[in-house]
Amino acid sequence: MSVTEHLELIGGDFCKDSLAATLLPREGQILSAHEMNVLWELFVEIGRCWEDVVHDSANLRSSWLEFVQAKTEHEPTYVAEYSNAVSCVEELIAIYGKQNAFSLLFLRNGIPDGPPLTRLAHAKRYVVDEFIRVHVLASGFKSYGGVNYKGYIAGSRYRTRPTVRT
């Protein structure tokens, strides 16, 4: 099913740089406002690629922010992974242009199966893949006909209508 099996790894020197598979150490940095903006753009592009945003991605921003906050303010922290992903995305945009960069990253990235051993593979495994899951559980599942989904928190606790298809 994977379309990435016979593709060449995308990106430039930075994306192809080798790394251990384990979570990158934080080394004291924080996420800058610019990095947060790039990460949000990455999240929005997920909805655009799979056309599963019912209204507007901005409606999901609070869920996404809370997720990023939980991942960066508690151990093990993802700050270094997020920073790495931003650099990968910027390199991809520089090489392929914005529209192609996200499409290639999501659908034709050439990352081999197995542990993430390059910077791009880290960005995909620890950032893109997790953002995809957040995107689907926060709203994306609805575009496939669902009313509820694992991880979806449904509105008011004082509702009277069922929160699943009945």
Partner 1 sequence: MRSEFDTVIVGSGVAGITVAKQLLERNRSASILMLEAGPEVEAKNRRYWWDYVVNDRKPYAFTYDQPGENRSIGNTNYLIEGTRVNAYGGSTMHWGGWCLRYKPEDFELYSRTGEGGDWPFSYDHLEPYYCLAEEYLSVCGDASEDWMPRSKPYPRPPFYWTAADQEMIDAFEELGIKPGKMPIARYRKCMTTGTCKYCPIGARFNAQYINDELRADSRHSGFEIRCNSAASQILTRSKQSISGVRYVDAKTGDEHEVFAQTVVLASGAYEVPKLLLVSTPAEWPNGIGNDLDLVGRYVVSHSMLKVRGESVRNDEHWFQEYDFPTLMSRSYDTPEMQKDGKIFIFKNRALPNIDIAGLMIQGLSRSEIEAAVGGPRLQEVQAFLEEKGRYENRLTLAPGRNRFGLPRMKIDFNRTPAGRAAGQDRLNLLEKVIECMGYKVVYKALEDPGGHHTTGTCRMGVSPEIGVTDGDMKVHGTDNLYVCSNAAFPTGSAVNPTLTLAAMALRLGNHLASRSGGATFTQGGSDA
Residues in contact with partner 1 by CB under 8 A are 1-4, 46, 49-52, 66-67, 70-71, 73-74, 106-109, 128-130, 132-137, 140-141, 144-155, 157-158, 162-166
Q: What is the rounded distance in angstroms from the CA atom of residue 62 to the CA atom of residue 78?
A: 18
Q: Are 35 and 86 in contact (CB under 8 A)?
A: yes
Q: Sign of the CA dihedral 21, 26, 27, 29?
A: positive
CB of 137 to partner 1, least distance (A): 6
Nearer of residues 34 and 70 to partner 1, judged by Cβ:
70
Q: Are 142 and 54 in contact (CB under 8 A)?
A: yes
Nearer of residues 55 and 165 to partner 1, judged by Cβ:
165
DSSP character string of 108-158? ---PPSSS--BHHHHIIIIIIHHHHHHHHHHTGGGGGT-S--TT---S-TT
CB of 94 to partner 1, least distance (A): 22
CB of 27 to partner 1, least distance (A): 21
Nearer of residues 34 and 151 to partner 1, judged by Cβ:
151
Q: Are 9 and 110 in contact (CB under 8 A)?
A: yes
CB of 44 to partner 1, least distance (A): 15
User: For residue 18, what are the β-bridge partners?
Assistant: 118
Nearer of residues 32 and 69 to partner 1, judged by Cβ:
69
CB of 14 to partner 1, least distance (A): 22
Nearer of residues 72 and 87 to partner 1, judged by Cβ:
72
